Structure 1
Amino acid sequence: MKIEGEKIKRYALLLAAKDSDYVKKVYGGYFNVFVEAFGEEIGEKWDLFRVVDDEFPDMDELINYEGFVVSGSPFDAYGNEHWILKLCLLLQTLYFMQKKVLGICFGHQVLCRALGGKVGKANNGWDIGVRKLSIVKDFSTHSFLSDLEEIPPALSIIECHQDEVWEAPEGAEIVAISEKTNVEMFTMGDHILGIQGHPEYTKDILSNLIDRLLSNGSIESGFAEDAKSKLYKAEPDRKCLERICKRFLKRELEYINGKI
């Protein structure tokens, strides 16, 4: 619902993965999953750009967006596919425009790469399940979270990746780490936020993804069974993570309307 006299705020999802059959059937596509997690009906509009299919926003339209979200992907963030190189150029442009960019999983990694960091295969192999993150940076120093309720010292998040950030870009601040990954979250100023895990994922989405990884030979049956059994014994801190992401993307919008 648009508030009278308020300018519509535009956001874009840069989708770096194809919609799975399961997500299309249950959620109508990944776009709906992201909008459900990060969007609100308060005078905003979300656009979808399937960058994995070489669909990008026009450069002269970038100024009209408040923020961008880069999704996860089965592709390697360090790959040299045309659309990945084009995405890196777009992310560099958005950085210099000081547009807000939230990178999730592959998005976190490709954002790091575009801004001068290093990414590659994870030293500890696949990380699949609900992972406990240790917060090592005081979030209150960031203006986008300065009046948010206290962030706990540890957060649980759904993970599914075999690549990772080896080295954050120069000038980046590492916000969270885990026992498996040295850069779980990083920021650059108040307009760049990278998160290795999936704050937007539900456990059923991950469960189906485990099945698909098993069926295509990416993981072994014992590993898949163990990941699934642990998945149902743990709960991600989705609400807190969604609040962090939404506040990062649109603090002014939420503050004006008394949200969070």
Structure 2
Amino acid sequence: MEIGILRTGHSPDAMKDEFGNYDALFEKLLGGGGLTFETFSVVDGEFPSGAQDADGWLITGSRHGAYEKHDWIPPLEKLIREIDQSGKPLIGVCFGHQIIAQALGGKVEKFDGGWSVGRTEYMIDDKPVALNAWHQDQVVALPEGARVVGSSDFCANAVLAYGDHIWTLQPHPEFEPAFIEGLINKRGRGVVPDEQLDEAAQALPLPIDNGDIAKQMVAFFKSKENS
């Protein structure tokens, strides 16, 4: 089953050699699940011809806001609507979570409550899950047909589902603690309050549930493999 990765941002230059770009993080996360991958760097204007170009789709995170004026955002929203209409499985993470909501009629904005960074506890499908977060923007109004399946104390609309073919997450299951440590040191200082970064650094040794979410993501894609 081939998954088209729509890359909407790039890893920080200072971290790319060690960790790879955002698509590489997802290939590592979902590796061994019987999936193959092709990346389209939509942030650089590289798009597939349409929803039929892959069996399923994944939209990555980005440092950009879904509401910002970039040339590549309107065609990405159009592609999201096409994928939705096709019924092919689609997963969005962080920016991906936000742009899917926006494309389908929801609203995204810079949250006045500030940032969520590092290990964060969520309730997803009524089960406690710990994942790494790195965001200030949030989905603040749901599209028609979206349902909330996960939330945290900070982010009410943290995990959304649309029918049985779209599943989106605000947190980052592809971010391991070492990647968060890199973000703290190489992107966060001067942007995120130091107190929050220090708290996130202290939580780095604590366990997270990336592996469990990876299994759910693979199962989600595979559930639509022959449809």
Normalising to structure 2: TM-score of the pair?
A: 0.92
43, 49, 61: which one aligns with 1:52: 43
90, 102, 108: which one aligns with 1:101: 90
The 1-side partners of 2:155 and 2:99 are apart by 16
Mark the structure with the bigger radius of gyration: 1
The 1-side partners of 2:193 and 2:11 are apart by 23
Q: In the alignment, which residue of structure 2 is the partner of 1:144?
A: none
Q: In the alignment, which residue of structure 2 is the partner of 1:223?
A: 196
Aligned CA distance change for structure 1 residues 206 and 168 (closer, same or farther; 3 Å): same
Shift of 1:124: 1.7
Would you say 1:188 and 2:162 are equivalent positions?
yes
The 2-side partners of 1:185 and 1:97 are apart by 22
The answer as to whether partners of 1:94 and 1:101 remain within 8 angstroms in 2 is yes
139, 151, 174: which one aligns with 1:177: 151
CA displacement, residues 139-195 of structure 1 (integer Å, 9 cap, x when unaligned): xxxxxxxxxxxxx62111110000001012111111011100011101011111110
Would you say 1:92 and 2:78 are equivalent positions?
no
Q: Once the two structures are aligned, what percentage of the paired residues are identical?
A: 30
CA displacement, residues 116-139 of structure 1 (integer Å, 9 cap, x when unaligned): 11111123210001111113x4xx
3-state DSSP class of the match of 2:32? coil
The one-letter code sitting in structure 1 at the alignment partner of 2:217 is C
CA displacement, residues 89-108 of structure 1 (integer Å, 9 cap, x when unaligned): 11011111111110000000
The answer as to whether partners of 2:118 and 2:133 remain within 8 angstroms in 1 is yes
CA RMSD of aligned residues (A): 1.8
Number of residues of Structure 1 aligned to a counterpart in Structure 2: 226
Please list every run of 5 or more consecutive structure 2 residues that lacks an aligned counterpart in the other structure: none
Deviates more, 1:79-88 or 1:181-190: 79-88
The answer as to whether partners of 1:39 and 1:246 remain within 8 angstroms in 2 is no
25, 31, 35: which one aligns with 1:33: 25
Shift of 1:82: 1.1
Shift of 1:22: 4.6
The 2-side partners of 1:64 and 1:53 are apart by 18
The answer as to whether partners of 2:117 and 2:196 remain within 8 angstroms in 1 is no
Shift of 1:252: 5.6
168, 187, 196: which one aligns with 2:142: 168
The one-letter code sitting in structure 2 at the alignment partner of 1:221 is D
Would you say 1:214 and 2:197 are equivalent positions?
no
Please list every run of 5 or more consecutive structure 1 residues that lacks an aligned counterpart in the other structure: 1-8, 138-151, 256-260
Normalising to structure 1: TM-score of the pair?
A: 0.81
